[in-house]
Amino acid sequence: MTIAIASFFFSYYFVNIAGFPQLIKKKFKIKWTTRIKPFDCVTCLSVWIAVILFFTPEIYAQFIAITFGAGFLGNTIK
């Protein structure tokens, strides 16, 4: 369960709050309408992050869930 929560919080923060897909598009001069899956899709990215976290120790998933969960809640509460 921790892996699912951690992967969602990381993906949501990465895509919607920090805006890394927009930075990647700007740096490599990619058109704004072009998709760069899985980096601009919360659902796609969370699946791949979950796969990565499945093969890492549980402490990493807990760390990511707490760290990016705080960013998610901070943005939601504002």
Indicate if the pLDDT at residue 70 is higher than 90: yes
How far apart are the C-alpha atoms of 76 and 54, rounded to whole Å? 27
Contact indicator for 3, 50 with CB cutoff of 8 Å: yes
- Residue 36: pLDDT band (50, 70, 90) is confident
Average pLDDT over residues 28-44: 88
**Residue type (1 letter), 47:** V
Helices (H) and strands (E) in the chain, counts: 4, 0
Does pLDDT of 4 surpass 90? yes
The letter for the amino acid at 62 is Q
Q: Find the domain containing 15 and state its range.
A: 2-77
- In this structure, of 5-14, 37-46, 52-61, the range with the lowest mean pLDDT score is 37-46
Distances in Å between the alpha carbon of 58 and those of 18, 49, 55, 62, 69? Answer: 25, 13, 9, 6, 16
pTM of the entire structure? 0.87
Provide the number of structural domains found in the chain. Answer: 1
